[in-house]
Every structure is written in C-alpha cells, then in structure tokens.
Structure 1
C-alpha cells in the first residue's frame, strides 16, 4: 500500500474552505486504499502562536471531531497528534544538523509571514526551522505522497532537498516523497471574499440548521437587484457560488434562468440553497453528535501509539545510518 501523510494546525472547528481545500481529498485518499496518516500539527501551531497555547487542546479535539464527522475512519487511517510522537522532535534535531540556513531563508512562507506577522511572532528558531520539522513529519512515515495544492509545492520541495542531502551523506535511508496535486474548487465566503475566520465570513462543518440559515440569509447577492423582479447576474452572487458546490445541474439551470429574468427572488434562491446544504451537513451532524471528548482523545492516543511504532522503525534506520545506534 502506498503511504500518504498530511496534517493540519489545530485552529478549532473547521469550515467549508478547510473541507473542500483538504479534508474531502483526505477522505477520498483513505477510501481509495492508501495507507494514510493524518495528524494534528500542534507543534506547528506554536511556531507563530507560542504565546497562545491555551486553546490548543480543545481546538485539537474540535478539529478531530470534524475529521471523523466528515468521514475519516480511525480503522482505515491513523489519526494522531504530532506532540505525542516524540520521534518528530528527534528527527527534526538530526535533520536540522544538515539543513543549510540559506534554504530556510529562501522559503516563500518564511518571507511572506515574516512581513505579515512581524518580528515578535517570527524572530525565533522555531519559525525559521518550520520546514525542517515539516520534513521530519513526512519522512517519519516513509510517505510516498503528500497531498498539496500547487501553491504548496515549494514547501514540499524543501523536504525533498533535505531528504536528498541526507541520503547523499549517510546512504539511502529516507523515502523521498512525491506531491499528489489536489484541485480545490473555488470557494468564497458569505461576503464574496475568500472564506476565512479572520473575515468572519465562514460556514463551519458543525453548523446547526438554524445557524446555517442565519448565515445564508445574510449572504451578499447581486447589488443591482433592488426589487424582487429585477433581473440579476448569478456570476457575481455569493449564493450562486455556493450552489455550484451543493446543488445539481438542474437546480443551477433553474437559478440561472430565474435570476437573469427576475422570476426567482434572492430569498427563494437562498431557501433552495439551505435545503441543499442541510442535506449535505446532516450526516456530519449526526456523526459529530455521537462523538464525545473522551472518545476522540482515545482515538488520538491510540493513533499516536500506532504512529510512534512506525516512526520508531524509521528512527532506528536513521540512527544506524548516522552511526548513532550505540
């Protein structure tokens, strides 16, 4: 079985951008028969928020609940927590010994976030060494593939460079991972901008029917439609963007005609979207309602135990090739 590895920072409950950008693809890979490891990247979370650790535990649990509700199966995939597998720290230390600082300083994310977040959040070794820890995360599980978008390819390439350097110095030890490109559909927020918690324009996977309707009701439509019978333009409407993901081709054709001719009002369009999105969310709501914190903790601890067993086999190989198995 080919191996896949990916992780998410624990930011709490996930929204539709997280689902369509990564989680739905994870579920597909699991169901296609790949041997999958998916982890809560809690150490990565503190590379830029080392002064905000109070929410990590609960955020990790909420995120894991969304994973399972969305279809990740602990019997098929290994779901674990980065900090519970200490081999991540050990391999990070060893890889850091051979990684040139120049490689890290050229990382696109390093430059961008340093400008955006400022010195107080980024002027420390953990932030600079983020790609090294990421490399350790991946190669600890002999991952053949890492699911990424095209914008993330430079980050994976640093891992591949570190692996090649290590194997050149110590012999063929680590598996060089390949990218498994994923295509995420365009998803706007409820206000037409990119969906983001910082914009408060997101729709959570854990929305109730009532909270979902409140967000749909407030969504921005074509501003040119002042009266119900005014013709509109669906291509500039946030509601129609959501219909592209949740409604059938017949629904979209009906909306296209109704909007452009003025025969369907915006509220009718929103009510139809609520029906389609409720149908999408209901299975997740049911699965999530059955999950309690203790259940999720057990899954994560058991997954971390299994992950540590695999990680230790890789570390024994690394120590042997580095002559550290004294």
Structure 2
C-alpha cells in the first residue's frame, strides 16, 4: 500500500506562482508515487473570510483549476472539498482538548499572520485555532507526508505533537506526519523584492490573461548592472532565473542558460521570452483546457470528496473507539 500525501490550498483567491512553490513542485512530482489527497480548504478559508462566504465559494473551482494547471493529474490525485467532510470538524473539536491556548499563542506561523492581519486581541477564535483544524485535515486522511513551504513547518510540528499525545493517551491509531520541503524556496516578487505577494502587487496569477502575463514578465526585475547583451550577468538574486529553477523541467537547459548569461552574450529579453514560452505558457494552456470543461472539474471534486470522506470515516471510527465514544457500535 502506498504512503499518503495531503496537500491543498485555501480558496480565498486564485493561486499565483510564488505560492509555496516548493510545495507545488513536490505535490506534482510525487503524485504517482504516493496516494495523493488535495484539500480545498474552504472551511479554513472562512476563518478570516467569514463575512465573505461567496468569495470563498467562487474560488473553490478556481483553485482546483490552478492545481490542475501546475500538473496535478485528476486521474491520480484525489481532490476533496473540506466542508463536505464533517469528520474533519469532529476531529478538530476532539483535538482542541489536547492543546493549550498558550501553546497556540506561541505558534510562529499564527503569531506572524495575526500581526500581518492586525487582529491584536480581536483575533477570531476560528482563526486562532486553525493549526488544530489543520491537524484534523492531515490526520483524517492518514497522511504520512505533507508538502509545505518553510513557513508552515510549525503547523506540521503542531500536528505531530497532537498525534503523539493522542496515541499516548488513547491508542496508537493516528499516523504521525512529516513535512516535505521543496528544493526551491518561495519565489521573489516581480520587482525583485524578497517575497511575491498578492498584496504587494508583484505576483503572476495562474488565471492572468496571456497579455497580462507577458506584460508582467517583460517588466520583471533582473540584474540592474546587466546593461548590455554582451556583458556578463548575475544569476543569483535574479527573479527570472528563480522562476526557471522553479518551473522549467529542462534542468540541463536552465543550467546552459545560466552559464551563457554569466559569461555574457545573452540578453534579458531572450531569457524572459524563454520563461514565457517554455515555462508559463504550458501552465496557462493546461488551465485554459480544464476551464473549457468545468463540469468535468466539478465532477473530479465531487467524486474525490466522496472517496476522501470514506477515508476520513475510517479514521473517525478508529478515533471514536480509542476514545470510548463508540456507544452504538460502528456507524
């Protein structure tokens, strides 16, 4: 039996290329070697979008299209809509007894996001405890590996702590997950700043129209000292090459481009054209093709959710039995 991977996204808006790029690459590369579950985390999205449920609903299929565009295979990966798996909510409630408010408050990822959103003491309780909900997501499907960006490592450790405590207190029925980091860190923004971000306006969205993508790529920051084509250029810190490292499957070709750029004779316009044609165009083409058959994508999510709920129900039966909550026998 294959080990399982759980990955996914919160449908609060379309994905962009800088979004946990290491995680995106990992989930695509490993989907044929592992039993892969892709969670469309709409309930978690509501923790900071509870006043805008229509926004979350509208983005569920958009995020599914983005996931398919980067290379997830609907014949291999199982797409699951979080809100339609009530076992996840039940696990969340039970896990809340296994963590303390103090420990949640010290979670680095939660602390950072609370500060970024300016919540202060007005943080919604649902947002505050979402590491526990995430633990329920992971354990409901018995995930062995969770592809994540580096900033999500504290969340996986929180899940592992909950699993260890549960198994020690009740019975060893839960799988302890491991984080799987990608080879590539988060991508820099188009302007060369440290992080690509929707709020900074320096991102390429997978759903951007072709003309807009081309315009953004043409305006990308490169090496500010590379003023002439014949002059040697710097690859390190150059966003165009960071994107090629992340998404171009031709590793030898990228290495050759880097060597040419470093010795001179390769202009920024040519490198950007390669990025558009060899790397971004195939992603956009796949997205457009899936978008033309939206009904098929909805079927993939509906049927995947059914399969996912069967797995979560198995986990829930084992949890109830371990906690002596199986009053009326198997359900």
**Residue range with higher mean Cα deviation, 119-128 or 143-152:** 119-128
**Residue range with higher mean Cα deviation, 291-300 or 130-139:** 291-300
RMSD: 2.5
Partner of 2:298: 297
Structure whose CA Rg is larger? 1
Partner of 1:50: 50
TM-score (norm 1): 0.87
Partner of 1:248: 254
After superposition, what is the alpha-carbon deviation per residue over 1:81-140, rounded to whole angstroms, capped at 9, x for unaligned?
A: 111111111111111133222221221122222222223795222122111111110111
- Distance (Å, rounded) in 1 between the aligned partners of 2:212 and 2:73: 27
Partner of 1:203: 204
Partner of 1:34: 34
- Distance (Å, rounded) in 1 between the aligned partners of 2:74 and 2:238: 39
Partner of 1:278: 277
- Distance (Å, rounded) in 1 between the aligned partners of 2:239 and 2:69: 26
Contact 2:19 2:186 in 1 (8 A): no
Q: Number of matched residues? A: 317
Q: Which runs of 5+ in 1 are unaligned?
A: none
Specify the SS of the correspondent of 1:168: helix
Deviation at 1:254, TM superposition (A): 2.4
- Distance (Å, rounded) in 1 between the aligned partners of 2:114 and 2:308: 32
**Cα–Cα, structure 1 residues 137 and 61, in superposed 2: closer, same or farther, change >3 Å?**
same
- Distance (Å, rounded) in 2 between the aligned partners of 1:177 and 1:155: 11
Contact 1:149 1:183 in 2 (8 A): no
Q: Does 1:16 align with 2:17?
A: yes
- Distance (Å, rounded) in 2 between the aligned partners of 1:242 and 1:147: 19
Deviation at 1:192, TM superposition (A): 0.3
- Distance (Å, rounded) in 2 between the aligned partners of 1:161 and 1:106: 14
Partner of 1:314: 315
Partner of 2:263: 257
After superposition, what is the alpha-carbon deviation per residue over 1:278-319, rounded to whole angstroms, capped at 9, x for unaligned?
A: 122333333322223322221111111000001001111111
Partner of 1:161: 161
Deviation at 1:232, TM superposition (A): 6.5
Contact 1:27 1:72 in 2 (8 A): yes
After superposition, what is the alpha-carbon deviation per residue over 1:146-192, rounded to whole angstroms, capped at 9, x for unaligned?
A: 22344432221111111122122212221122223332246222110
Which has a greater percent of helix?
1
- Distance (Å, rounded) in 2 between the aligned partners of 1:9 and 1:271: 35
After superposition, what is the alpha-carbon deviation per residue over 1:241-263, rounded to whole angstroms, capped at 9, x for unaligned?
A: 445554532222222233xxxx5
**Residue range with higher mean Cα deviation, 48-57 or 156-165:** 48-57
